[in-house]
Chains A and B, each alone.
Chain A
């Protein structure tokens, strides 16, 4: 009786091992097959190829702003005047929702470069044109759900959780920047 029990248990252990092993192998295999069907949805090589652009900023006078398209997104490049820089610098950083000093958001204080997409639900805020409504903080105002950004593009009022994103960029020369 004991012997048969042992034999039986030995058999079932071996069977369990094969069963679990086969199942595990099949699961890994399935996952490997499914992955290409899922990953094809992610940004493809042609999208990634658009990853960096160069912009000539010499025609942008003080107080003007331009919008360029980078990776399908608008990027705001604003040539700030002294009063805007001063206004952005004197804000009490600790009081902000997304605390960031103005100097952390710029490479040169007179040039503000940021992705022009509201961090709430992706609308493009107004404020690039001189006639636009710039919101309570004289920067940008998102008309979709009422987020107000200051002259440094920081969120001051409304539902947006973060400041306008600053993309990776660098000054290739005094009049040219590379975004991405």
Chain B
């Protein structure tokens, strides 16, 4: 990992002996203590650590919940109530797990938008970006299957609607849905396998987080200026400068999280999930968890079944190919006012889609969803590539990160060259 030279020197004989055989302490020192990190990182760069905390919280609370939960269609709902009422501290552990999922997504959305705003997906960080998209998709799979496990009405019907998305595939659609269900409808075999897979996906996720961090440490962090690191003046060691910054934000996040866990534990849930799953009665109004709402709105905006499904998956895939849609050498939108305008418009559109995803599919809600869905795709497929070619900055870019920090501003062309030349 990393291109900087190792300056780790074992102090004791045994450490030296160990280092020659398994240089794990050297790796920790090189990658997480002295690791050269751009000195101008702002708080938007702290989400990585926040996400790490929530991953750990989800793993620990999840393993404990698995000791008390029963993955059976007749018993799952009651076993969750058993956790909430009988198991010592069960209410706390379950509230931490269910709200932890929501906070995981809050942090990941900030993390992704930061990446788009500051051009963190651009060369040489394309693989880093793609691994991130894979992690995001895994998070969605884990969250979706986890939401099914309590076997309430919203669990059951959410599972039904989402698995039925695959029935839109021509010819093999019905076989695929039966394969996913292990039955002819969402039922016991479905619940049982979702439980198994809900346990598997986070393990894969941990592996991909390692790859994500590895890819990050090969190329180094991007920064708010979008400039590549030129000299050691541009960087500070990761510890203590950024560990402290990360810890500060983690504590802020955990404080808000604790407020939700203790005082608003069901705020982000749905009352219908307090009703046991009933395969013959669909709730009047099915909504997914809040973090899926923009994509759900895209699904419903398209009046055709297969078209809706393609649009929904496409809405995620356009984000994955962003490095190849935006080839402008200037990374940070600080120096791209036009792109910045359309970026914030995109953020507003994504939030409005989230709002519409929670509304019934009728009247002006549908019309609005269609317009906003169109913007989502036009933003990525037309506006971003066009601005990528056309936009040149009208602000003077600093020559280096150090210049930016100290307030020296150079010429535009220098900055553009710096950004395109990689590291």
Contact = CB atoms under 8 A, between A and B. Distances in A.
Interface in B207-222: none
Given A72-B185, A143-B285, A123 B178 contact: no
Contacts of B178: 42-43
Contacts of A47: 182-184, 187, 189
B184 A41 contact: no
17 contacts: A42-B179, A43-B181, A72-B186, A120-B164, A120-B305, A121-B160, A121-B164, A122-B185, A123-B161, A126-B282, A142-B282, A143-B285, A143-B360, A144-B161, A144-B282, A144-B285, A159-B300
A123 B183 contact: no
B87 to A, nearest CB: 30
Interface in B263-288: 279-286
A143 B287 CA distance: 12
Contacts of A120: 164, 305
A159 B304 contact: yes
Nearest to B185: A72
A67 interface: yes
Contacts of B181: 43
B183 to A, nearest CB: 5
A71 interface: yes
Given A72-B187, A122-B164, A41 B193 contact: yes
Nearest to B280: A74
B305 A160 contact: yes
A120 B283 CA distance: 16
Interface of B is mostly: loop
Interface residues of A, number: 28
A74 B281 CA distance: 9
Contact of B189 (A44, A69, A116, A124): A44
Interface string B141-164: 000000000000000010011011
A73 B362 contact: no
A122 B163 CA distance: 9
B133 interface: no
A144 B320 CA distance: 30
Interface of B: 157, 160-161, 163-165, 167, 178-187, 189, 193, 279-286, 300, 303-305, 308, 360-362
* CB-CB nearest 7 A-B residue pairs: A72-B185, A71-B184, A122-B164, A121-B164, A123-B282, A74-B280, A124-B282
Nearest to A128: B280
Contacts of A73: 184-185, 279
Contacts of B280: 67, 69, 74, 116, 124
Contacts of B284: 143
A122 B179 CA distance: 16
A159 B308 contact: yes
Nearest to B184: A71
A145 B189 CA distance: 27
A23 interface: no
B164 A124 contact: no
Contacts of A143: 282-285, 360
Given A41-B193, A47-B182, A144-B161, A72 B279 contact: yes
Interface in A64-93: 67, 69, 71-74
B236 to A, nearest CB: 50
A42 B281 contact: no
A136 to B, nearest CB: 12
B9 to A, nearest CB: 49
A74 B160 CA distance: 13
Given A124-B282, A144-B286, A159 B305 contact: yes
Contacts of A117: 185
A11 interface: no
A80 to B, nearest CB: 20
Contacts of B308: 159
Nearest to A38: B179
A146 interface: yes
Contacts of B300: 145, 159
A140 B183 CA distance: 25
A180 B422 CA distance: 65
Nearest to A161: B305
A43 B183 contact: yes
